[in-house]
């Protein structure tokens, strides 16, 4: 588990601050609850540039802007049964060329879900009991508030 910013500064205080207790790396690691290697790492980062904040993330920049992300969400909200390919095609007509998988990721990020429609709708919520007879006997399982028969 990564250390919080306050824990990182606490490491520096416990080791290097003039009013600090000048603890050893091992004692600091026990006090903070981390590995001695983590203590050495954060002390080294402090001595390099006195900054313990997270470094900027590396990687490829996003293919869409916030404005395009908002368009994707609005199109999906406007039309309930639209597919990611359809949304991608609508945006291509507007000059924004993105893949359907990118559309699905943006919808997931905005709190939406994506998946194929159910072939058989679930009916256990509509009926209070569903019974399947096995021979001449019926056995009941109780899970939470629902009765299930097998």
The domain ranges of the chain are 5-49, 68-109
Residue entry with tokens 């920049």: 61
70-87: per-residue pLDDT in tens?
A: 999 999 999 888 889 999
What pTM did the predictor assign?
A: 0.47
Q: Give the pLDDT band (50/70/90) at residue 30.
A: very high
Distance of CA 85 to CAs 45, 128, 140, Å?
46, 39, 45
97-127: per-residue pLDDT in tens?
A: 999 999 999 999 998 876 666 666 666 555 5
């Amino acid at each position: 588990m990564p250390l919080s910013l306050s824990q990182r500064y606490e490491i520096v205080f416990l080791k290097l601050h003039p009013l600090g207790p000048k603890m050893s790396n091992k004692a600091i690691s026990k006090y903070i609850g981390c590995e001695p290697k983590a203590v050495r790492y954060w002390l080294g980062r402090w001595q390099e540039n006195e900054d313990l904040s997270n470094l900027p993330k590396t990687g490829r920049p996003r293919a869409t802007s916030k404005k395009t992300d908002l368009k994707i969400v609005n199109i999906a909200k406007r039309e309930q049964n639209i597919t990611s390919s359809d949304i991608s095609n609508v945006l291509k007509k507007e000059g924004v060329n993105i893949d359907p998988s990118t559309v699905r990721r943006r919808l997931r990020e905005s709190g939406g879900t994506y998946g194929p429609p159910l072939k058989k709708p679930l009916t256990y919520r509509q009926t209070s009991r569903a019974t399947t007879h096995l021979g001449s006997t019926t056995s009941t399982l109780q899970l939470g508030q629902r009765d299930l028969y097998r």
